Amino acid sequence: MALITLRNIQLGFGGPALLEGLNLSIERGERVCLLGRNGAGKSTLMKLIAGELQPDEGEIAIQQGGAYHPIDTGGTLRYYR
- Tell me the per-residue pLDDT of 21-79, one tens digit each, with 9 for 90 and over: 999 999 988 999 999 999 899 999 999 999 999 999 999 998 876 555 555 555 444 44
Contact between 10 and 19 (Cβ < 8 Å): yes
> What predicted TM-score, i.e. pTM, was given to this entire model?
0.75
Domains and CATH numbers, the chain: 4-71 (3.40.50.300)
User: Residue 70's pLDDT is what?
Assistant: 58
Contact between 51 and 61 (Cβ < 8 Å): no
Q: What is the mean pLDDT of residues 3-20?
A: 92
Q: What is the mean pLDDT of residues 13-21?
A: 91
User: Residue 78's pLDDT is what?
Assistant: 45
User: Residue 11's pLDDT is what?
Assistant: 95
Q: What is the mean pLDDT of residues 3-9?
A: 94
C-alpha–C-alpha distance, residues 78 and 61, integer Å: 10
- Residue 70 has a CB neighbour count (10 Å cut-off) of 13
